[in-house]
Amino acid sequence: MADPTLKELLAGSSLSFIGTVRAVGETPVAGLDADDHTAVVQVEEELHVPGAVDIDPGTTVTVQMSPDQPPLAAGDRATFFANPLVYGDTIAVTEVGRTEAGALPPAGARFADAEDEGEASPVTAALDELAQDKVLEHALKADAVVRGRVIALNAVDPNEVLHEHSPQWWIATLDVDFVQRGDVEGVGEEGGRVTFLYANSLDIRWRNWPKPKAGQGGMWILHRAAAEHSALAPFTLRHREDLQPSLQLELLR
């Protein structure tokens, strides 16, 4: 089996770092049983770490090493790709992949071009490509993808009495100049207008729905409205990925 690319390693892990093994067969994490695949690793450099995780250089992390990787000994250095296992005063992770310290595997053509041109670090370029892949997959499942600008925003019921978790439905009108995919009634080669429904509430149930702004332009990923809302607008905007920069249209061409 071919070695995984950097993009594949990042897709399968939520954090990565370069570190040096300080001990094997032990851990400071209470309640975690250590064995010969358990290593205490001192972090030298973060490569990709979620904001909620604190593994600054000098921090020690317990790594439950993958049985598919060669064993490590105290003093060995490596680049680790892992997923969180235990959060506490110290952190334990499960290893999903490993490379030599500072050495990163190759990735796809788009990633290689970006790296050669010096546009981004290898990890940043690979993460950007993963994000683009996610947008592409999402757009291909949508009912319509258009390029346009918001020209009107109107509350469905300005006098609505709000209750807990009320969505506060609004309708946005787009001036569309290009349809990338889907059947958008009223929009032809010369463009046209289309409306979509969205939840304007900041309640926890609705806060992740995009909130369009007057004059906002971009690539809009639209989903057919539910039957009970179809009389209000033909489409809805409901996912984080539903609004993208217009340049993202190139992904679909």
Please give the chain's pLDDT, 253 residues, in tens: 567 888 888 889 999 999 999 999 999 988 889 999 999 999 999 998 887 778 889 999 999 999 999 999 999 999 999 998 887 778 899 999 999 887 777 655 444 444 445 555 788 888 888 888 888 899 999 999 999 999 999 999 988 777 888 999 999 999 999 999 998 998 888 899 999 999 999 998 899 899 999 999 999 999 999 999 999 999 999 998 999 999 888 877 7
Q: How far apart are CA 91 and CA 81, in angstroms?
A: 14
* Domain limit, last residue, from 100, 128, 150: 100
Regarding whether 185 and 88 lie in a shared domain, the answer is no
Regarding whether 82 and 122 lie in a shared domain, the answer is no
Residues 244, 206: contact at Cβ < 8 Å?
no
Residue 171 falls within a domain, yes or no? yes
Residues 129, 111: contact at Cβ < 8 Å?
yes
- Give ∠ CA 98-101-105 in degrees, rounded to 5: 60
Regarding whether 187 and 151 lie in a shared domain, the answer is yes
Q: What digits encode the pLDDT tens for the residues 36-61? A: 999 999 999 999 888 777 888 999 99
Regarding whether 29 and 43 lie in a shared domain, the answer is yes
Regarding whether 150 and 133 lie in a shared domain, the answer is no
Q: What digits encode the pLDDT tens for the residues 218-247? A: 999 999 999 999 999 999 999 989 999 998
Residue 222 falls within a domain, yes or no? yes
Regarding whether 77 and 47 lie in a shared domain, the answer is yes
Residue 1 falls within a domain, yes or no? no
The confidence score (pLDDT) of residue 112 equals 46
Regarding whether 241 and 159 lie in a shared domain, the answer is yes
Regarding whether 181 and 120 lie in a shared domain, the answer is no
Regarding whether 70 and 10 lie in a shared domain, the answer is yes
57: domain range?
6-100
Relative to beta strand 15-24, strand 91-100 is unpaired
Regarding whether 89 and 20 lie in a shared domain, the answer is yes
Residue 158 falls within a domain, yes or no? yes
CATH number of the domain that residue 235 is part of: 2.40.50.120
Beta-carbon contacts of residue 1 (< 8 Å; ≥ 6 apart): none
Per-residue H/E/C for the chain: CCCCCHHHHHHCCCEEEEEEEEEECCCCCCCCCCCCCEEEEEEEEEEECCCCCCCCCCCEEEEECCCCCCCCCCCCEEEEEEEEEECCCCEEEEEEEEEECCCCCCCCHHHHHHHHCCCCCHHHHHHHHHHHHHHHHHHHCCCEEEEEEEEEEEECCCCCCCCCCCCCEEEEEEEEEEEEEECCCCEECCEEEEEEEEECCCCCCCCCCCCCCCCCEEEEEEEECCHHHCCCCCEECCCHHHEECHHHHHHHC
The confidence score (pLDDT) of residue 213 equals 96
Residue 161 falls within a domain, yes or no? yes
The confidence score (pLDDT) of residue 238 equals 92
Q: How far apart are CA 98 and CA 103, in angstroms?
A: 10
Residue 198 falls within a domain, yes or no? yes
Regarding whether 151 and 113 lie in a shared domain, the answer is no
Scan for tokens 């950007």, then name that residue: 128
* Nearest CA-CA partner of 32 in 63, 59, 69, 71: 63
Report the number of distinct structural domains present in the chain: 3
Regarding whether 127 and 171 lie in a shared domain, the answer is no
